Amino acid sequence: MVLDRGFLARPALEVAPDLLGALLHHDSPDGEVVLRLTEVEAYHGEADPGSHAFRGRTARNAVMFGPAGQLYAYFTYGMHTCANIVCGAEGAATAVLLRAAEVVAGVELARRRRGAQVADRDLARGPARLTVAAGIRLADTGADLLAPPFLLESATARPPVASGPRVGVAGDGGSEAYPWRFWIPGEPTVSAYRAHAPRRKTGL
């Protein structure tokens, strides 16, 4: 079933675990890649010290303020693009970071983008690898994920869900007080957990 805007127009902490197992389609000029989401992180806007919106609206994070269903893409470490699904009420600045996925269609295209020697489990294992495999670019920020060339479908069956601290987020936002990373336990495509590195932040 294709997801609708109402599904995404809920708080990030409700949407994030419900996205596990969902299918993200991206039909680019090179062809279509379909990802089954296996790991995500919730970010709760101005109330969340790990969020890009923690200090309010800026030119960079404006897309986070809605409407739900938009793609928020951002550049990190000067080399990687990360992809997020805007959710919640318009103006709330909440979003879900897509951390990892299984490539279920378009595997050869994803492999051409990621490298011929990359194992299937690693094609979209981690947020930067996920965007490369799917062909998502920084220029796609603001795109509607509920309209071509994108599409979101619900999971065919609800998977089990595990939760814990977010990956690589500095300060309080990366602590156990914010167990807002959700993943499918036992899924080999889930990225390896690491605590934040000094002077670095990958939250949104």
Nearest residue to 94 (alpha-carbon basis) of 44, 52, 47, 143: 44
Interval 111-148: pLDDT, tens: 999 999 999 999 999 999 999 999 999 999 999 999 99
Give pTM, 2 decimals.
0.88
Distance CA 183, CA 54 (A): 24
- What is the sign, positive or negative, of the torsion defined by CA atoms of 189, 190, 194, 195? positive
Determine contact, residues 93/65, Cβ cutoff 8 Å: yes
> Looking at the predicted structure, is the pLDDT value of residue 198 above 50?
no
Distance CA 103, CA 134 (A): 9
